Amino acid sequence: MKADLSPPAPSTGRVYLVGAGPGDPDLLTLRAVRLLQQTQAIVYDHLVSPEVLDYVSPNAQRIYAGKRRNAHTLRQEEINALLVKLAREGKHVVRLKGGDPFIFGRGGEELETLAAHGISFEVVPGVTAASGVSSYAGIPLTHRDYAQSCLFVTGHLKDGSANLDWPSLVRPRQTVVIYMGLGGLPEICRQMMAHGASAELPIAVVQNGSLETQRVVTGTLANMAERVAKAGLVSPCLTIIGEVVKLHDALAWFNTETPQRKICCAASHA
């Protein structure tokens, strides 16, 4: 798709960059719900749950942008151009992204394009996956006994590699949360151990966090890749690494009445 990006005519259009949270619609902000109910057009990603989309005005034009790993319905450049086009048509547009649009959501890139073409915009933050998913998995990201800092990392870079800052990932008394890291999990575990992390460091992978289909697999750096493969987890998943994962068994509260939806593998030392 190609859009005309010539200097815009005067327009009342506006783009709202909205975070949809990790999936549970109860985690939407009031501002997000109001905008979804009033929008004239919505451009949304794969990670936005159907339950969240139930809040969208029935009169709104719906455009699916995809953004699955290696399967984008629209390329990022096409999405940027589409937002400009819709706003120039005078529409109020919601650009809806899973989690928070400014945390590994490429929201900054989209706003740069809007700003360059004189399009008015607003940002509505959402509950980021790290916070929402860890909470629903019963894993505090910080804890006085285990972690005094928390590091958010993307599991794959722009060129598809996993050339991360490994020394920073293995510092003690911190929690590492890895977005989009399922495909590279074996290499992530191997590199962390190679850079000094204990093979017994606890790790959890959460699939469909905050939804009724949530599944949690726990283990250690040494055995996690095998456990995830055996469980058959698929994206979207979030990876949490650190001593705080030990608290999962005691603090898990979501879907505990339906244990078949949650795989909870004891760490090797248990």
Residues recognised as catalytic: 45, 67
Count Cα neighbours of 225 within 13 Å in the Cβ-side half-sphere: 15
> Is residue 126 left, alpha or beta, with left meaning phi > 0 and alpha meaning psi from -120 to 50?
beta
- Phi, psi for residue 192 in degrees, rounded to 5: -65, -40
Amino acid at site 168:
S
E strand spans, the chain? 14-19, 41-45, 61-66, 92-97, 120-124, 149-154, 174-179, 202-207, 215-220, 237-241
Contact 13, 92 (CB under 8 A): yes
Question: Residue 133 burial (CB < 10 Å; 0-12/13-18/19+)?
Answer: buried
CA distance 16 to 39: 9
Tokens (6 digits) for 110? 């989209």
Which DSSP letter does residue 68 get? B
